[in-house]
Amino acid sequence: MLITVEGIDGSGKNTLACGLSTVLAASHDVKMVASPGYDRTETGKLIGRYLSGNFDLGNDSPYALSLLFALDRQEGQPDLRKWLAEGKLVIADRYAASNIAYQAARADDPDESARVRQFVLDLEYQRLSTIVPAYNIWLDIPVDFSRELIARKGKRDYVSTTYDKFEADGNLMRKVSEEYRELAKDDRYGKWIRIEPVQEGALRAAEAILDEALGRLDLYS
């Protein structure tokens, strides 16, 4: 079974993915992966350089950039297929939905967003036959909280500044949240579980978020 953890930057995806992996390892053979593969795939290394501002891609077309992120995912698909065939439970910190949401959010207007969304959906799941998750856990966090959490992370290997190229754009992050909402409303490509890391104006404890996720997963259906 493949379970993905999705959300804008700074939503707590890695914390939840690691928590799920640790708890579920007591009863399952668990593997954890992350996208992009900044230190795992050649394409992931290239994406890291792009997000850190080392180079650009011409006009930064969402169509062109979606190909780069999809290629990064394809580098890991053989291992993923092998693990799933062996009955392993795979937890993914980001997956295809991130590519769809981020690229559609970068389009110039709502009509173009819809076209980009459909292009990347078709690219990932039809043309490239990307494995469809059983569950997509979406951490729906307000942008102001996410930016604060990113600032707490400190230096990361792929970027020398506090925020990478996407994280620095708060308006983009708001649009990405709306794109996730669009994907989640119809359970597109896997069942979606929406979790709110912030309630009543305060960030919830990581343990509470983990408990909610575990309680809403059905691993035996």
Tell me, yes or no, whether 111 lies in a domain.
yes
Residue 60's DSSP bridge partners are none
Residue-wise pLDDT tens digits, 167-217:
556 688 899 999 999 999 988 899 999 999 999 999 999 999 999 999 999
Check which CATH number belongs to the domain holding 169 and give it: 3.40.50.300
115 inside domain: yes
Residue 123: strand, helix, or coil: helix
pLDDT digits (tens, 9 = 90+) for 45-77: 777 676 666 666 655 789 988 988 898 899 999
pLDDT of residue 53: 64
Residue 106, domain member (yes or no):
yes
52 lies in some domain = yes
| Domain count along the chain | 1
Q: How confident is the model at residue 19 (pLDDT cuts 50, 70, 90)?
A: very high
The domain of 153 spans 2-216
pLDDT tens-digit series, residues 132-178: 999 999 999 998 888 777 666 655 454 445 555 555 566 888 999 99
Instruction: Judge whether 64 lies within some domain.
Output: yes
Examine residue 140 and state whether it is found in any structural domain, yes or no: yes
Statement: residue 38 has pLDDT above 70: no
Residue 221 maps to a domain: no
Q: What is the pTM of this model?
A: 0.86
DSSP state of 189: T
* Nearest alpha carbon to residue 110 among 189, 118, 190: 118
Q: Where are the alpha helices (DSSP H) in the chain?
A: 13-24, 42-51, 62-85, 96-105, 110-121, 143-153, 170-184, 206-216
